[in-house]
Structure 1
Amino acid sequence: MDQFLLVLVSGIASGAIYGLMGLGLVIVYRATDVVNFALASLATLGLYAAITFHDNGAAVLVGVLGAVLVTVVAGLLVREVVIRPLGQGRLFAALVVTMGVALIAESVIGSIWGTQPKSFPSIVDGTVRAGGVAIPAQSLLTIAVAGVAMGLVAFLFGRTTTGSAMRAVAESADTAQVVGISAQRIARLAWALGLGLGALAACLYAPKVGLAPAVLSAPLFRAFAGIFLGGLNSMYGAVVGGLAVGVLENLGASYVSASFRDTFVFTFTVLVLLIRPQGLFGTRTFQRV
């Protein structure tokens, strides 16, 4: 039972990271119709900036804030320079461009900081005793921070004027423009929010695995698995899907085989999509042909 509790907490912590990253991807997608494959690489750029701040004497929390800021600024620059000129409705072109940006960002990181793995400091150290098991404090902090961030996003979209405007643009940018909502301003806000959540997820993930130019590739694809499992157009689904992926992969690794953890997760995701193609919480769309 103690082992199961440790596996469950670890799975929820991993799932919280995937959920945060998936939530950032869905927010950007709903507001701008862009599947931002560059989110992970831009967040990695933020991580390297954070470790640079830390190596120069800054506190870990200052480094985390620096990582979020660098990621958001870099992401907004990418949007204005290479995504916005594509125009609306260029989903495939934007997808390819963000993949190219991801490769460029990884190359820049390798050129500046090198490709050798580095350690990333934990925000908190130590363990918390729960019965007969010692749970890492970092895992509990990850769950708490992710929960607060998700709650704030829910409050933003459910209770504020800005959130209402973002939901309006997600439903129809043209209609929102007619009633006086600036789609471009909302798009910038969505990118900033999505990239900030991605950077926060990266800062919670890096202490566990260390730092390398492609360190976020695995959590990015697991976040996508969570998105498709929960529903591509559902923010709630991205969170639930990410949590499900985290728990499933840890259960699979602990009780089946560590080498089959991804196989276990993606097999389950494919089975769900075969039954419900729009995901657990997504909505089915129809097109007149």
Structure 2
Amino acid sequence: MDQFLLVLVSGLASGAVYGLMGLGLVIIYRATDVVNFALASLATVGLYAALALYDSGLPLLLAAVAAIVVTTAVGLAARETVIRPLAHGELLTALVMTMGLSLIAESVISTIWDDQPRLFPSLVEGSVAIGGSAIPAQSLLTLAVAAVAMALVAYLFGRTTIGSAMRAVAESAETAQILGLGSQRIARIAWALGLGLAVLAAVLYAPRAGLVPTVLSAPLFRAFAGIFLGGLTSMYGAVVGGLTVGVLDNLAASYVSAGYRDTFVFSFTILVLLIRPQGLFGVRTFQRV
């Protein structure tokens, strides 16, 4: 029972990371129709910048805030120069562009900081005894921070003018323009918010995974599994899907085989999509032809 509790908490902590990244992906996609494959690589740039500042003597918390600022600035600059000039509806082109941005970001990281693995400091140390099990404090902090961040995003979209504007743009950019809502301004806010959530996930994930240029590649694909499982356009689904993927991933690694963890997760995701193509919380859409 104690072992199961450890596996469950660890899975939820991993799932919280996937959920944060998935939430960032969905927010950007809903506001701009862009599937941002560069999200993880851009967040990794922020991680390396944070580690450099931390090594220079800046407190870790301030370094993490600096990572969000750096990633957001780089991401918005990339959007303005590469994504925004594309014609409306160029979804495949935008997808390829973000893949290219991802490769460029990884190359820049390797050039500036090299490819050698590094340690990223934990925000908290030690463990907490729960029911006879020693739960890592970092895992509990990950759950708490992710829960607060997700609650703030829910408040933003449910209770604020900016959130209402972002929902309006997600429904129809043309209608939002008629109502006087600047779609480009909303798109920038969506990118900044999505990138910020990705960096937050990265800061929570890196202490246990170490730091290399591709450290967030696996979490990114598991976040994609989570948003397809939950529903590509559903923010609630991105969170639930990410948590589900995290728990299934850890259960498979602990009770089946670590080599089959991704096989188990993606097989389950495919099975759900075969039964419900729009995901657990997505809405089926119909087009007149």
TM-score by length of 2: 0.99
Q: Give the SS at the match of 1:85.
A: coil
| Displacement after TM superposition at 1:80 (Å) | 0.3
Alpha-carbon distance between aligned partners in 1 of 2:109 and 2:24, rounded to the nearest angstrom = 22
| Displacement after TM superposition at 1:239 (Å) | 0.3
Alpha-carbon distance between aligned partners in 2 of 1:172 and 1:206, rounded to the nearest angstrom = 37
The one-letter code sitting in structure 2 at the alignment partner of 1:272 is V
Q: Match for residue 171 of structure 1?
A: 171
User: What is the RMSD of the two structures over their aligned residues, measured on CA atoms?
Assistant: 0.5
Q: How does 1:112-151 map to 2 (within 5 A)?
A: 112-151=112-151
Alpha-carbon distance between aligned partners in 1 of 2:31 and 2:88, rounded to the nearest angstrom = 11
Q: Give the SS at the match of 2:69.
A: helix
Runs of 4+ in 1 over 3 A off after TM superposition: none
Q: Give the SS at the match of 1:129.
A: strand
- Asked whether 1:81 is paired with 2:74, we answer no
TM-score by length of 1: 0.99
Q: Give the SS at the match of 2:147.
A: helix
The one-letter code sitting in structure 2 at the alignment partner of 1:183 is S
Aligned length: 289
Q: Match for residue 51 of structure 2?
A: 51
Q: Match for residue 247 of structure 1?
A: 247
- Asked whether 1:62 is paired with 2:62, we answer yes
| Displacement after TM superposition at 1:131 (Å) | 1.8
Alpha-carbon distance between aligned partners in 1 of 2:9 and 2:71, rounded to the nearest angstrom = 28
Q: How does 1:1-289 map to 2 (within 5 A)?
A: 1-289=1-289
Alpha-carbon distance between aligned partners in 2 of 1:90 and 1:204, rounded to the nearest angstrom = 34
Alpha-carbon distance between aligned partners in 2 of 1:252 and 1:131, rounded to the nearest angstrom = 23
Q: Give the SS at the match of 2:287.
A: coil
Task: Percent identity, please.
Answer: 75
Instruction: Give CA-to-partner distance per residue, 1:168-219, whole Å, 9 cap, x none.
Output: 0000000000011000100000000000000100000000100000110000
| Displacement after TM superposition at 1:63 (Å) | 1.1
Alpha-carbon distance between aligned partners in 2 of 1:19 and 1:88, rounded to the nearest angstrom = 28
Alpha-carbon distance between aligned partners in 2 of 1:88 and 1:43, rounded to the nearest angstrom = 26
Q: Give the SS at the match of 1:35.
A: coil
Q: Give the SS at the match of 2:85.
A: helix
Alpha-carbon distance between aligned partners in 1 of 2:53 and 2:166, rounded to the nearest angstrom = 33
Alpha-carbon distance between aligned partners in 2 of 1:101 and 1:30, rounded to the nearest angstrom = 20
Deviation larger for 58-67 or 23-32: 58-67
Instruction: Give CA-to-partner distance per residue, 1:87-127, whole Å, 9 cap, x none.
Output: 31110000000000000000000000000000000000000
